[in-house]
Amino acid sequence: MPLPFRWSAVRAFGCAVGLLAGASALARSQDLPRLNDTLPAAVSVIRAGRFVDVDRGTVARDQLIIIRGERVERTEPAAGATLPPGARVIDLSAYTVAPGLIDCHTHLVGDAESADVLEPLERSEAQDALTGVRNARATLLAGFTTVRDVGTYRAFVDVALRNAIRDGTVPGPRMAVVGAYITVAKGGGEVTGMANDIVLPAAFRVGVVSTPDEVRERVRILLNGGADLIKIIATGAVLTEGSQPGVTEMSEAMMRAAVEEAGKYGAFVAAHAHGADGIKAAVRAGVRSIEHGSLMDDEAIRLMHEHGTYLVADIYNGDWIEEQGKREGWPAEIMHKNEETTEAQREGFRKAVRVGVKIAFGTDAGVYPHGLNARQLPYMVRYGMTPMAALQSATIVAAQLIGWQDRVGSIAPGKYADLVAVPGDAMADLSSFEHVAFVMKGGVIVKAPTTLQ
């Protein structure tokens, strides 16, 4: 199947990067440290006052992190240690040092902070790409060095953004992307709300399916087009006009087709699912994760636990929608759906924690401003997790969900030197992660206190 829109998205991104070049240089000079700018030092040594070892679930005092190039070489107690010759020493002895944070449910491309359901059609590919650059930078500076980006209406712009970050053209987190939603027609993953005789552009309908065979075809198109994983829309959505969160929109056979086809490529499937029946069908079909899980019942929670399915629940997001919706007069339909899902989701989350369901951190950032991702951490503690378990959900557990635990998720030998630092004892109050003072990605300092610049 020819995909001319894919290449137009890439061309649009190229134009966006060209326009960004001067602006990014100015942004670096104003906001980012000049410590080796874009290249890691040969050897760096970080002295951590408190070192959060998420692999062990412990916090150690006065530790050294030795970094060679872009990767961690080793960690050891500072007492009696000998520094490598010529090492750059970074004194974070007044800080808690933790792995770079991971958000498993973001939408970096475009601008979703609006109740205008037709907003995606009011923007060009270049605008989506440029906004993605802005959002990626804000996410990185907030301490989120990796994201699993789970959907954009206009196909493959997320692939282009990921590639531009990967090759150093623009700053941003490591990205695992889906390319586009796989959804039924007029379902939770489609742009809806226009007149019935309006035809959406092809780039917006790449993932629209009606049979298991079509699901398989679209999975192949997305993965061959550069996606890292697949996102299916199993139920209706809160922010899609006309769809109902509790209604299952995709058959279990279609979900299983997605899992089987993606499995041929070694790729996972994430399922947007609010309603209990849709959650259970997705779990039985073999999806890797349930996104949202707002209306899950006890049986759904039990099935997730038995199958080892991850829950990625955006339990802060409902508060933002309520506050923003009231300020801006969002449609009654959206506000009602948010009201019926928010507290139910939190109660289900509490039960899932109690049962032992694997929980990975995910916020739905994009519905609210990027860079506020860490606001969800204290919510996870409020609804049943220990502070360490909540932080693990945003580090090593998130890395395991993506399948990247060999490279990110903890500060350990051989992994990328992705880490953040927060003043004082950050584990005493996880809201402190909303204000990270220091961010390193791959051995490169992208944010630092002025005393280190």
Round to whole Å and give the CA distance between 70 and 43: 9
Residue of 120 and 212 predicted with greater confidence: 212
Round to whole Å and give the CA distance between 237 and 356: 26
Tokens describing residue 179: 């390319």
Query: Taking residues 134-156, what's their average pLDDT?
Result: 96
Round to whole Å and give the CA distance between 363 and 112: 13
- Say if residues 155 and 12 touch (Cβ distance below 8 Å): no
- Note the pLDDT of residue 222: 98
Round to whole Å and give the CA distance between 165 and 107: 15
- Note the pLDDT of residue 28: 36
Round to whole Å and give the CA distance between 49 and 199: 58
Structural class in CATH, domain 101-402: alpha beta
Query: Does the pTM of the predicted model rise above 0.85?
Result: yes
Closest residue by Cα to residue 442 from 406, 418, 426, 419:
418
Read off the pLDDT of residues 177-223 as tens digits, 9 standing for 90 and up: 999 999 999 888 777 666 677 777 777 788 999 999 999 999 999 99
For the domain spanning 43-99+410-452, the CATH number is: 2.30.40.10
Read off the pLDDT of residues 383-406 as tens digits, 9 standing for 90 and up: 999 999 999 999 999 999 999 999
In this chain, the answer to whether the domains covering 43-99+410-452 and 101-402 adopt an identical fold is no
The domain limits of the chain are 43-99+410-452, 101-402
Round to whole Å and give the CA distance between 169 and 308: 38
